[in-house]
Amino acid sequence: MLNIALFGPPGAGKGTQSEYLIKKYNLFYLSTGDLLRKEIAEKTPLGLEAQSIISAGGLVSDEIIVQIIENTITDHPEANGFLFDGFPRTYVQAYILEGLMLKLNTSLTCLISIDLPEEVCVQRLLNRGKTSGRSDDNETVIRNRLREYTEKTLPVLQFYKEKGVCFEVNGLADIAQVTQQIDTIVTAEVAKQPLNILLFGYPGSGRDSQGKALSERFGLEFISTNEMLETEIRNETPIGKKIVHLYENGLLVSDDIVVQLIERRISDAKNAKGFIFKGFPRTLVQSYILDGLLRKRGTTISMAFELEVPVLDLINRLDERSKTEHSMAYDTSTARIVKRLKEHESKTLPVIARYAQRHGVTKVNGLGTFEEIFERLSSEIENGIKNLR
């Protein structure tokens, strides 16, 4: 999860830079100013209380801010990350944000501070006041706000400097240059984030062999439900015996079995740079479970791919596989193969649709030699990494 706090005095241009970050990194925008104005416009009790404080050029109390921020965060559990604009403004709020991030099993990725001299801020806000119609855009209020910022907000910088996640940019540069400075910072932080890839495709599409090769190329951990399940079968564990029964009937292994194996595998890979998931999630329920497991580690899905292979080719591949040591239980007859393909269609295609809506799923031609398919996938991953960074 990518969580960014954009910091700077009034008039520093945080709104403009926020638009760029939201669009590029698909973040949920969380602006205390916007949220407060919404409360004020709706004349809620919080809004009325905030109005009197803002009109005098003061900062709204932590009690008001906390309620609005927490409600907004908890109302959007599906978010891939948050962009905080105007929060935290005080040392106390910095601790509050730490608590809110802990609630999400994540942390603040970085705080970016746009530095700008006071007189430049004043002039920018006075110019804005000529067209904005905002009552707080007059010199007396502006200087009060800047004084509040200096006295109460700047100490927050030290809080995050001690954590090593505070970065400063020159706000005197033109907009494009400020954006470039910010982009360089975020790119470096994103590079530290785990790379989590979903590899979809019908049984027989080549996910296993491609996933293993890709994990080696990109230094990721390969997680295959089949491998874990086969280990249970080979060791003749109680779980393994249940799995054999399900396989023989062409059914998917139940979530309670798969999830505990996946969670154990993720937990064991403490220093992993990321994961390639093959065979999981297979159902909508499992997709929500995986999102939760990754969120617990403060991360999320980075990209997803689907290997496309015509049905007749799939059947031929699975039939050929049934004659090798890699044969699966459902490979033993055409009827079972067809049943397994239908199972994928009814249960896994909705999962692909869900990720396509949230993250985008890139379709990759699964026909050709192993090397040709591998290069297609590798190229798509490399392009995806560039887009993320």
Q: Is 376 annotated as a binding residue?
A: no
Residues 6+ apart with CB under 8 A from 326: none
Q: Is 297 annotated as a binding residue?
A: no
Q: Is 8 annotated as a binding residue?
A: no
Q: Is 225 annotated as a binding residue?
A: yes
Q: Is 211 annotated as a binding residue?
A: no
Q: Is 222 annotated as a binding residue?
A: no
Q: Is 368 annotated as a binding residue?
A: yes
Res 152: pLDDT: 80
Q: Is 131 annotated as a binding residue?
A: no
- CA distances (Å), 265 to each of 104, 118, 231, 249, 362, in order? 22, 53, 13, 27, 26
Residue 34, exposed/middle/buried by CB under 10 A (0-12, 13-18, 19+)?
middle
User: Over the chain, what is the mean pLDDT?
Assistant: 86
> Does pLDDT of 229 surpass 80?
yes
What average pLDDT score do residues 81-90 get? 85
Per-residue pLDDT band for 389 (boundaries 50, 70, 90) equals low
For residues 291 and 301, the answer to whether their CB atoms sit within 8 Å is yes
Q: Is 9 annotated as a binding residue?
A: no
3-class secondary structure per residue, the chain: CCCEEEECCCCCCHHHHHHHHHHHHCCEEEEHHHHHHHHHHCCCHHHHHHHHHHHCCCCCCHHHHHHHHHHHHHCCCCCCCEEEECCCCCHHHHHHHHHHHHHCCCCCCEEEEEECCHHHHHHHHHHHHHHHCCCCCCHHHHHHHHHHHHHHHHHHHHHHHHHCCEEEEECCCCHHHHHHHHHHHHHHHHHCCCEEEEEEECCCCCHHHHHHHHHHHHCCEEEEHHHHHHHHHHCCCHHHHHHHHHHHCCCCCCHHHHHHHHHHHHHHCCCCCEEEEECCCCCHHHHHHHHHHHHHCCCCCCEEEEEECCHHHHHHHHHHHCCCCCCCHHHCCHHHHHHHHHHHHHHCHHHHHHHHHHCCEEEEECCCCHHHHHHHHHHHHHHHHHHHC
Q: Is 129 annotated as a binding residue?
A: no
Q: Is 36 annotated as a binding residue?
A: no
Residues 6+ apart with CB under 8 A from 347: 252, 282, 283, 284
Counting every residue written for the chain, the total comes to 389
What average pLDDT score do residues 324-339 get? 74
Q: Is 277 annotated as a binding residue?
A: no
pTM tops 0.85: no
Q: Is 93 annotated as a binding residue?
A: yes
What is the token pair recorded at 155?
């100490």
What average pLDDT score do residues 146-154 get? 83
Query: 142, 144, 135: which is closest to 120 by C-alpha?
Result: 142
Q: Is 187 annotated as a binding residue?
A: no
Q: Is 16 annotated as a binding residue?
A: yes
pLDDT digits (tens, 9 = 90+) for 15-46: 889 999 998 888 899 988 788 888 889 888 88
Q: Which residue has the higher pLDDT, 250 or 303?
A: 303
pLDDT digits (tens, 9 = 90+) for 103-144: 766 789 999 999 999 899 888 888 877 776 666 668 888 888
Per-residue pLDDT band for 329 (boundaries 50, 70, 90) equals low
Q: Is 143 annotated as a binding residue?
A: no
Q: Is 340 annotated as a binding residue?
A: yes
What domains can be seen in the chain, in order of their start residue?
4-191 (3.40.50.300), 195-388 (3.40.50.300)
Q: Is 218 annotated as a binding residue?
A: no
> Does pLDDT of 282 surpass 90?
no
Q: Is 106 annotated as a binding residue?
A: no
Q: Is 282 annotated as a binding residue?
A: yes
